[in-house]
Amino acid sequence: MASFKDTLPPDLFDQTTLVSLASTLAILATAYLLSLSALDRATPGSHRFLFIWHAFDALIHFTLEGSFLYHCFFSWIPLSSVSNPHALAPTAHNFLGFTSRAYGPQAGGDNPFAQLWMVYAKADRRWAGADLSVISLELLTVFVAGPLACYICYGIAKKDPRTNIWMIVIATMELYGGFITFCPEWLTANHNLDTSNFMYKWVYLVFFNMLWVFIPLYAVWVAVKDINDAFVVRANAVEGRKTK
């Protein structure tokens, strides 16, 4: 009878995996340091947390997801050079006008960012190749959500109450994007997902992706609460004018 250890992939905790996980922690540490320099001590804890989150969010979008897009558009190998093309993650038919190329991190060779995405692709195969749905979402994520997250950090630092509106916008984008990413897999019995071990299922697929569910929901709650408080103040002001 095989032991639990025997069922785990031999490369589950290899150097590339550990470096990839460490890079995420480094991005989080950078976001925290940015909060120390950008926010004053009077900043409420909820806004401090959301500043760190949106700084982390922007850095993830620009560095990691930006690198994914780079490899989807600029890294490729000819299918004729691969002995078993079926072993590759799929590239959409006629992607960028070619039918004889395989695109994505799988074609990135020893590039560190390509290797990072190949680690994640062990859990979700789509991230090794050029999946049109994923690429379409990431284009919006990198070029719209990333800059918007930076703008939200600026608004929080400046104590601009209008930042609440943009927090709701980006939270809606994140929630919608997460649903569109995983709904196709739910409808096809998780065809591209590997949930055979704890790391792939609970760390890569559940933990990392659920961050972009629960924290955006929290951001919406904070923003809506602040907006409702503003309506109460306005209503009280109108009532006060009526009684004069």
Which residue shows structure tokens 């639990």? Answer: 4
**pLDDT tens-digit readout, 86-130:** 889 999 999 999 999 999 999 999 999 999 999 999 999 999 999
pLDDT of residue 4: 38
Closest CA to 171 of 226, 227, 127, 222: 222
pLDDT at 139: 97
Reduced to 3 states (helix: H, G, I; strand: E, B; else coil), residue 101 is: strand
| Rounded CA separation 83/86 (Å) | 9
Residue pair 126/192 in contact (Cβ under 8 Å)? The answer is: yes
Domain range summary for the chain, segments of one domain joined by + = 11-243
Residues of the chain with pLDDT below 50 are 1-6
- Burial string for 136-146 (b: 16+ CB within 10 Å, else e) reads ebbeebbeebb
Looking at residue 8, what is its pLDDT?
59
In this predicted structure, what is the pLDDT of residue 2?
38
Looking at residue 17, what is its pLDDT? 84
The whole-model pTM stands at: 0.90
